[in-house]
């Protein structure tokens, strides 16, 4: 995978927005593994790990290959392991917020808009 460094970081940050995906990538940094090995190591159900592996495979961070009737997964680019080891921070805008924080942010935005409307109404009524 040849991706410019700034895009590579952005893709990896998005992948790392999930604890499950971080765990999968850390697991695969050690060696290639098959689904049930990864699931056991990250402490999640195989269906959950399979879902996240498919996402990681789709964005090009992980690759799968069939051996002896099992699909083994590995990191597609060793830079991923370096990225994980360096523990670069995830930009705040890429981190998922809990629902209550999303609602509070929306409320703050609505409040600002209402304050601006109220201010305009006050100016218009004084004319």
Residues 15 and 69 in one domain: yes
User: CB 23: neighbour CB atoms within 10 A?
Assistant: 17
pLDDT over 70 at 11, yes or no: no
Residues 48 and 10 in one domain: yes
- Tell me what pLDDT residue 88 has: 60
The model's pLDDT over 13-67, given as tens digits with 9 standing for 90+, comes to 676 778 888 889 889 988 999 999 999 999 999 999 999 999 888 878 899 999 9
Residues 6 or more apart whose CB falls under 8 angstroms from that of 69 comprise: none
Would you mind telling me the total number of residues written for the chain in this entry? 127
- Tell me what pLDDT residue 94 has: 46
- Tell me what pLDDT residue 1 has: 47
Residues 58 and 109 in one domain: no
Residues 73 and 122 in one domain: no
Q: Answer for the pair 24, 49: CB distance below 8 angstroms, yes or no.
A: yes
User: Burial level of 10, CB count in 10 A (0-12/13-18/19+)?
Assistant: middle
Residue located via tokens 């942010």: 105
The model's pLDDT over 72-120, given as tens digits with 9 standing for 90+, comes to 999 987 777 777 767 665 555 545 566 666 677 778 888 888 899 999 8
What's the domain range around 79? 5-96
- Tell me what pLDDT residue 8 has: 64
- Tell me what pLDDT residue 34 has: 94
What is the spatial distance between Cα 13 and Cα 3, in angstroms, rounded to a whole number? Answer: 14
- Tell me what pLDDT residue 36 has: 95
Residues 14 and 66 in one domain: yes
pTM of the model: 0.58
Number of domains in the chain: 2
User: Burial level of 15, CB count in 10 A (0-12/13-18/19+)?
Assistant: buried
């Amino acid at each position: 995978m040849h991706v410019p460094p700034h895009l590579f970081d952005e893709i990896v940050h998005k992948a790392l927005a999930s604890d499950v995906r971080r765990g999968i990538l850390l697991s695969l940094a050690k060696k290639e593994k098959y689904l049930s090995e990864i699931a056991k190591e990250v402490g999640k159900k195989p269906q959950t790990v399979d879902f996240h592996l498919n996402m990681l495979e789709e964005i090009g961070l992980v690759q799968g290959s069939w051996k002896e009737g099992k699909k083994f997964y590995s990191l597609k680019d060793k830079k991923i392991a370096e990225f994980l080891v360096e523990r670069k921070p995830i930009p705040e805008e890429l981190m998922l917020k809990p629902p209550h924080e999303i609602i509070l942010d929306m409320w703050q935005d609505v409040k600002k808009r209402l304050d601006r409307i109220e201010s305009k109404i006050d100016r218009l009524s004084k004319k």
